Chains A and B, each alone.
Chain A
Amino acid sequence: MENNNLVERLSLQSESFQEGFETLSSARSFEEMVKNFLHLIRGNFLVSEICAFGKKHSEADWKPISSDKIISREYLSSINATQQLIISYPDNAEHTVCIVLPLCDRSLLAVLIGHKMDQSRFTEFDKITLQVLIQVFDSAHRAFINQKKEKALIFDLNEKIAQMSNLIDTIIDISRFDKREILFESSLERITSLTCASAALVQITANGNLVKQFTFPVNISPDEILNASYKIESEFSFNDFNYKFILAEKESRTGTGNFNELDQLLLNAVTKQIRTAIESEYLSNQAVEKEKLEQELLVAATIQQRILPARLPQIKGYEIAGINIPSKEVGGDYFNCIELSSNKYAIIIADVAGKGISAALLVNTLDAALYSYLQFDIPLNEMAERLNKLIYKSSPSDKYITFFIAILDSATGVLDILNAGHNPIYLLRADGTMEKFDAGGVGLGMFDFGIPFAGQTSSIHRGDSLFFYTDGIPEAMNKSEEEYSEERMINFFQNNYQLQSETFINELVGDVKSHTDNHPQSDDITVMILKKL
């Protein structure tokens, strides 16, 4: 009968238990939830005093959560804290009920209930009601903790999405930065934010010496980052420079700690992208430089083409022809036939050691100097000495010019000759005998300590042919690296000298080409022939 009455009374209260659960679970904080719980108890049992204490774990000290009265430390320490629910009814002067409730997050809640206002004792029904209320609080607390965990989970998920999004944006941005300082500063900002680092540093060193360093935040000392307790690093080297990125002190709500595997992966990814950006910038600069150089070479080639004669002068009683085929855009070969007076001609062939712009500049110097010196009709050995001094001063130590000049008196056929280090020049007499002019001095610009240049005299007669060339002809190579050879060149000269001069030149070039068989030309080719008709 009594039991039936108890069940009936409890069922009548079920609605208020439900409301109690809603009140407790709508609390925004644990403290608010405990306060609401105390209100429920106060309202159900009409008690005068009630207070609550909590501890993070069983070994910690009790801390007041809601207390009107000061409870002695000794009393609090006497409250047993186990991982089991304890409800005791001490019935002392202060409290009639003491509850110790272990919670799902391993924390503990203690509730001390004072006397009922009507001074009556807790009935069996009250005790059962209290048990139910404690269960309601426990359920609401579990819901509260789960909600907190769910919020943390959503935060973590959003954080990961934000990290991925920021990483993608960072990688895109890194490839866009055209100023190196902005690249490093922005990258440090991004990677610090991505990994929740407290600070970041990049050190750029060359041969172990610090060249430059950047930090984020800007005002933080690099030493502070280097001496941090928790660090991760990533580095790379490019073009003699080493780039080392350091992140310090990963942050959390409870302080700073070590970085995780994902942080290292993120740092590596950003570092790799920075390396790519630096490499791309370097390659792009190289391409621009190359294009600039090619433009300069083109200009130099145009100038050189103007130096070399487009047509050789016509010499009465003679036939003369020549050609220059540079191996690069600008060559180092030179040939010319300059009319000095009505019967006097200077025929020159020269070869600068090397090619490119520096060789072209020397050719330019030689051409200008020749025009200048030839006006004065000075002896060839004296002219060669002057040219030697000039070229020596105008050129680097590895540059010199092999030079051959013949001053032709077209009326008499007399040749004043000087060969300064050039290949032998061949004179094929009408009767088939061959003479060669190979002595006379070292190349122009090689030395400047008075090595004398010696000229010689010869003469060209009817039917004779004088053959000039640079080493591009005998040294022209095929794919098997076999040279065209001086022997084959002389044979060609001997077998074809009767050909009209221009035809001879074209046929010779054709023969050289047939030997090289489209193998890239490794040296300039210059050839000239003078025939007395």
Chain B
Amino acid sequence: MGSDFNIATQLIDKTLVIKTDGYINHTGGEKIVEEFSKHITVNRLILNLENSKVVNSIGISHLIEIIEKLNQVNGKLIFTNLDPAIEKTFSIMGLFQFAAKADSIEAAMEV
């Protein structure tokens, strides 16, 4: 099934910033993991979800995979610009036990 999910990436030192656009499902999650895997030196990932208002549990499982990989290298995943509905889902799924959230990319850089 076609997908209109897109990402834009920016690397600042050892911080990778990925801005997503669209439904974070299996396809979306895979694209994020794939992009993250290209940057093996990265120990901080900022995921800007400003243009992603919908996420499903398969998408979340991919994000958990990234969190686990980052934890292995004492790294951190920080979510920014979260839609309230997504924030609530992440909270219930326990993501914020191992990942952080920030209001903006600037604030995420300080975490």
Contact = CB atoms under 8 A, between A and B. Distances in A.
Interface of A: 28, 154-155, 158-159, 161-162, 165-166, 169, 189, 192-193, 196-199, 216-221, 224-225, 228, 248-249, 251-253, 256
Nearest to B2: A220
B54 A192 contact: yes
Contacts of A189: 53-54
B110 to A, nearest CB: 29
Nearest to A221: B2
Closest 8 CB pairs of A and B: A162-B92, A198-B1, A219-B4, A251-B26, A196-B56, A158-B93, A159-B57, A251-B58
Nearest to B94: A158
B26 A169 contact: no
A251 B26 CA distance: 7
Interface of B: 1-5, 22-23, 25-26, 53-58, 60-61, 64, 68, 72, 85, 88-89, 92-94
B93 A251 contact: no
B97 to A, nearest CB: 11
A252 B29 CA distance: 12
A353 B67 CA distance: 79
B92 A224 contact: no
Given A159-B93, A252-B26, 7 more contacts: A189-B53, A189-B54, A217-B3, A220-B3, A228-B1, A248-B1, A251-B58
A217 B88 contact: no
Contacts, number: 75
Nearest to B30: A253
7 contacts: A28-B68, A155-B64, A159-B57, A189-B53, A193-B56, A249-B1, A251-B56
A253 B1 contact: no
B79 to A, nearest CB: 16
Contact of A158 (B26, B85, B88, B92): B92
B92 A217 contact: no
Contact of A155 (B1, B22, B93): B93
Most chain A CB within a 10 A radius of its CB, from B26, B57, B85:
B57
Nearest to B68: A28
Contacts of A219: 2, 4
A165 B89 CA distance: 8
Given A28-B68, A220-B4, A251-B25, A155 B55 contact: no
Contacts of B5: 217
A253 B58 contact: yes
B57 A162 contact: yes
